[in-house]
Amino acid sequence: MDSAGVRSGESRAESSAEKKEQSLLQGVLDIFRRKERERVDIPFLLIVAALLVIGLIMLLSASYPYARYYRDNSYVFFTSQLLFAVFGTGFAFMMSRFDYHHWHRLAIPLLVVAFALLILVLFIGGDNKRLISLGFITFQPSEIAKFALIVFLADYVSRHFKNMRSMLVGFLPPILVLGGIVALLMQQPHLSCSVIVAMIAISMLYIGGMNGKVLIVGGLIIAGILLYLVFFTGAIDYAKDRLAYWLDPFSDLQGKGWQTAQSLYAIGSGGLFGQGLGNSRQKHLYLPEPQNDFIFAIVCEELGFVGAVLVVALFALLVWRGFVIASRSNHRFGRILGIGLTIQVGLQALLNIGVVTGALPNTGISLPFFSSGGTSLVMLLMQMGIILSISRTSRIEKAT
């Protein structure tokens, strides 16, 4: 073989080697790009993590005097909440890897389960008709009902989007489902959850394209029914008492105005920078059950105005980022589902803070990520995982 042939063979070998190297490099780059596309929304994940960590710390601080006095264990609420947080975080991770499109097929079965549980709790709930106890765990069907309604409305709106302005298609079916859930919740009675699910449903239906005038009429009818139940029936007398002492809790300082008054004392004594973490006075058996609905008052007292603003800002950022993620979805179902789940968190936080600060009457609404409650925390983290799934899937869809 002459020298020219040898050089030609060597050139082909070098070219083949370069192509293999380029192919290998391209394969590595594709792996990293694919991982980048599949990655969840990091800002949203960090916001959720921050709220969860701060919530656990504040729960420990707010609950230990009450827990020590009534349960003889200062850490009983914290350890329980921490366990549910770990379980919920694992659930959130699984949901972030679960394609959210599958909830399309699960919408109706999930709604049926929610209705069944809401009926069941009325018969086996005992004195507390809001809880079902399985012995090793106690949960609230209302939390499952909220999630089921959001999934159902996202599915229904996405399937009937072109006919959402129709009274027969766009108004009656979803309003009948909402009315059924509210009717069962009021049998517990659970006014605060009824208000939340009604506001979530109205918001989702409006965003989904329902006729605004029709929606306003429907909202007024629902509000009228709730007000009638509050003022003209004996079904929920406790709500009338809360409304009566809302504007002036100090008129019955030793009675029904006690909790709201102690909450305002806690907020007022916090000042700009607070009394310091763990240094609240009102949690020492002045503010009833500070680990539950009024935990934000302890946040204000211990962390001050600055800490309270930080918590509010985190909730605002979560709502903003949730809406951003939902808007980026290429499917209407993903957009409506993401918006509904985000609205639930933002609405609950807004109403809870409004109650604690005296801007709204006491309705028994928990503060997401902060208030003690295993069912609500696990469901909340699971729903945050679904939003992360929407963000991850949206990245893949846009890249393909």
Would you state the pLDDT for residue 249?
A: 72
32 within a domain of the structure (yes/no): no
The answer to whether residue 333 scores a pLDDT higher than 90 is yes
281 within a domain of the structure (yes/no): yes
Its pTM stands at 0.85
**What confidence tier does 212 reach under pLDDT thresholds 50, 70, 90?**
confident
Q: Which two tokens stand for residue 338?
A: 């993401």
The answer to whether residue 126 scores a pLDDT higher than 70 is no
95 within a domain of the structure (yes/no): yes
- Name the region of 368 (left: φ>0; alpha: ψ -120 to 50; beta: rest): beta
296 against 261, higher pLDDT: 296
Query: Per mean pLDDT, which range of 205-214, 267-276, 310-319 is the poorest?
Result: 205-214
31 against 90, higher pLDDT: 90
d(CA 327, CA 213): 25
Give CA torsion, residues 286, 289, 293, 299, to 10 deg.
60
Q: How confident is the model over 275-298, as a mean pLDDT?
A: 91
Torsion sign (Cα): 305, 260, 63, 317: negative
Angle at 67 (CA atoms; ends 62, 68), nearest 5 degrees? 115
Torsion sign (Cα): 250, 365, 227, 218: positive
286 within a domain of the structure (yes/no): yes
2 within a domain of the structure (yes/no): no
Would you state the pLDDT for residue 385?
A: 96
387 within a domain of the structure (yes/no): yes
Q: Which domain holds residue 55?
A: 41-399
How big is the chain, counted in residues? Answer: 400
User: What confidence tens digit (pLDDT) does each residue in 146-162 have?
Assistant: 999 999 999 999 988 88
Angle at 279 (CA atoms; ends 275, 282), nearest 5 degrees? 95
Cβ-contact 39, 396 below 8 angstroms: no
25 within a domain of the structure (yes/no): no
Would you state the pLDDT for residue 237?
A: 59
393 against 306, higher pLDDT: 306
Cβ-contact 129, 121 below 8 angstroms: yes
**What confidence tier does 399 reach under pLDDT thresholds 50, 70, 90?**
very low
Coil, strand, or helix at residue 330? coil
d(CA 362, CA 153): 28
Share of the chain above pLDDT 70, in %: 79
Domains in the chain, number: 1
Residues 6+ apart with CB under 8 A from 353: 296, 312, 367
- Name the region of 175 (left: φ>0; alpha: ψ -120 to 50; beta: rest): alpha
30 within a domain of the structure (yes/no): no
42 against 129, higher pLDDT: 42
Cβ-contact 174, 213 below 8 angstroms: no
